Amino acid sequence: MELRHVDLVREEEGKRFLLDTLALAETGLAELEESYRRALSDLETSRGSDHHDVPTLRRHLTDVEDARRRVSDARADVPRALAIRNAALGSGHSGAAADRAALASLLVAENPYKGVARTGPDPVRPQPG
């Protein structure tokens, strides 16, 4: 049996680097979220909550919330964006389709197995024949 040398100092340095990087990313995401919230508030105040640029900002905010693992917050923003985009540009617009896809993705992320129905035989456990 071969014993391998483990460099615990380098392993600890690697862990610290990873934790520092994650903390920096979280700080950046928090700042980005605050910027989007301010921009959204300013836009809604100056041009109205049904302005055609509002859904785009809401979607960007949703992406940040999703990255921060706050799926329920993100899920609340997408239907608002979709409703505004549908009213402004129509449900056939590519942006509305992207909003519907984003909502579907968030719903799956929130509960990936809820409502999943089997459509065929189980490939892992074949039916006795």
Count helices and strands (H / E) in the chain: 4, 0
pLDDT at 113 over 80: no
Residue 64: its pLDDT value, please? 93
pTM: predicted TM-score of the whole model, two decimal places: 0.68
Amino acid at 99: D
In whole angstroms, what separates CA 4 from the centre of its chain?
41
Band of pLDDT at residue 116, cut at 50, 70 and 90: low
106 vs 47: CA distance, rounded Å:
28
Residue 72: its pLDDT value, please? 82
46 vs 38: CA distance, rounded Å:
12
Q: Above pLDDT 90, what percent of the chain?
A: 30
Predicted confidence (pLDDT) per residue in 13-72, tens digit: 888 999 999 999 999 999 999 999 999 999 999 999 988 899 989 989 989 998 898 888
Band of pLDDT at residue 126, cut at 50, 70 and 90: low
Q: Residue 64 in contact with residue 76, Cβ under 8 Å?
A: no
Arithmetic mean of pLDDT, 71-95: 86
Residues found in the chain: 129
Q: Residue 57 in contact with residue 38, Cβ under 8 Å?
A: no
57-75: buried (b, 16+ CB within 10 Å) or exposed (e) per residue?
bbbbbbbbbbebeebeebb
Residue 26: its pLDDT value, please? 94
The burial of 99, by beta-carbon neighbours within 10 Å (0-12 exposed, 13-18 middle, 19 or more buried), is given as buried
Residue 4: its pLDDT value, please? 67
91 vs 87: CA distance, rounded Å:
8
For the chain, list the domains and their CATH numbers. 12-110 (1.25.40.10)
Residue 81: its pLDDT value, please? 86
